[in-house]
Amino acid sequence: MAQGFSLKDQLFNAEKTRYLAGLFAEADAEFDAAAFESAVMARLPELELKERITWIAECLQAARPGDLPQVSDLLLRALPPPLDPTKTDDDFGDFIFAPLGEWVVATGMEHPDLALDVLEELTQRFSMEWAIRPFLNRHTDIVMQRMQDWCDHSSYHVRRLVSEGTRPKLPWGLGVDLDLSDPLPLLDQLHSDPTRYVTRSVANHLNDITKKAPDLVLDRLQGWDQSGAQDSKELAWMTSHALRGLVKAGHPEAMKMLGYDPEVDLDVQITLDGEARIGAELSFAVEIGGQRGQPVLVDYIIHFQRPGGKISPKVHKLKQAKIGSDALTISKRHKLKGNATTFTLVPGPHRLEVQVNGRVRAGVDFDLLG
């Protein structure tokens, strides 16, 4: 039986370890690359992804003991050239450099200025969004001041670190002891950045904030629109991306900001096509009638049965359109995977609802068959 894809093995393996060892051996003739590789590989296969990052950092510390002032020169000499500065997106870097950030955290907490110098260089090879957060908590004023300078950095990777490193809900990231409004002056500068890599991070940051303070985000976006500092099409994309969580939740003010009237008069009908069975699909059609030219943002919600009798609603995107001279008809086939690793389907009563411009307009019950 073929084994499934393993992200941890793709990102951290013998070949990547050898590459990292070679960089340090080239920077320092006394660095024992073979011993480092052997130490890393002795435990690497048994570890999960984040554990591998920590373990490689520990092996580097063992190979070159000392605090950051003692090892920073070697660390910087070992770095390859920065990532391609001509790109503007989708250039996250090589994960094998993530352990270098952990090394800086472990050895540089008492040397924040030097640590930030090193992280500034490292993030131009691989994003240091996780490594900077311990420093942000321990040396808040120093880091926030440095981030103010980084907003004008020539590398978009460094500029992105400002937004990504301060996100309230960074995936895999340590929580930060900041008020939700603290990074907003930094985002005020970054929102007009010319690179999508940065503006996507700003939008993701705002989406994080919406989970606790939606009005804070709506006010900021309105202010940015009035300032005219960002290209209008890019700001429209950022706004849509930043409000995606609120759109799923049917937040009326978010809908209005995106140009969709939550109170518009519509006639919405749902038609199911055949039975729904685990391993097959749920087929349905939605018909929306209303005033011609009316913009509509259509989502559908499936209320899934969960083990123990609980109900778990899941919101899915369906269509953005305008109503024409005839009613708008949308067909959809939703796959009902029986072998998904993240969500187990349970046979029994379910419900399908259609949400238009943030309001549930129609619903129908159906049985999911095993």
The pLDDT of residue 123 is 97
**pLDDT at residue 357 above 80?**
yes
**pLDDT at residue 306 above 90?**
no
**pLDDT at residue 28 above 60?**
yes
Both 359 and 227 in a single domain? Answer: no
**pLDDT tier at 157, thresholds 50, 70, 90:** very high
Mean pLDDT on 362-370: 93
319 CB-near residues (< 8 Å, 6+ apart): 296, 297, 298, 330
- 104-115 tens-digit pLDDT: 999 999 999 999
Mean pLDDT on 48-62: 96
The pLDDT of residue 5 is 65
Both 311 and 190 in a single domain? Answer: no
- Domain assignment of residue 251, yes or no: yes
Both 175 and 215 in a single domain? Answer: yes
Both 102 and 180 in a single domain? Answer: yes
Residue that is last in its domain, among 210, 238, 257? 257
Both 213 and 355 in a single domain? Answer: no
Neighbours of 246 (CB within 10 A): 22
- Domain assignment of residue 7, yes or no: no
Containing structural domain, residue 362: 267-369
The closest of 272, 345, 264, 325 to 298, measured between CA atoms, is 264
Q: CA-CA distance, 240 to 292, in Å (whole number)?
A: 24
The pLDDT of residue 2 is 38
Instruction: Please name the helix (run of DSSP H) or strand (run of DSSP E) that holds residue 189, with its range, or none.
Output: helix 184-190
- Domain assignment of residue 121, yes or no: yes
Mean pLDDT on 205-229: 97
**pLDDT tier at 226, thresholds 50, 70, 90:** very high
**pLDDT tier at 4, thresholds 50, 70, 90:** low
Contact 88, 45 (CB under 8 A): no
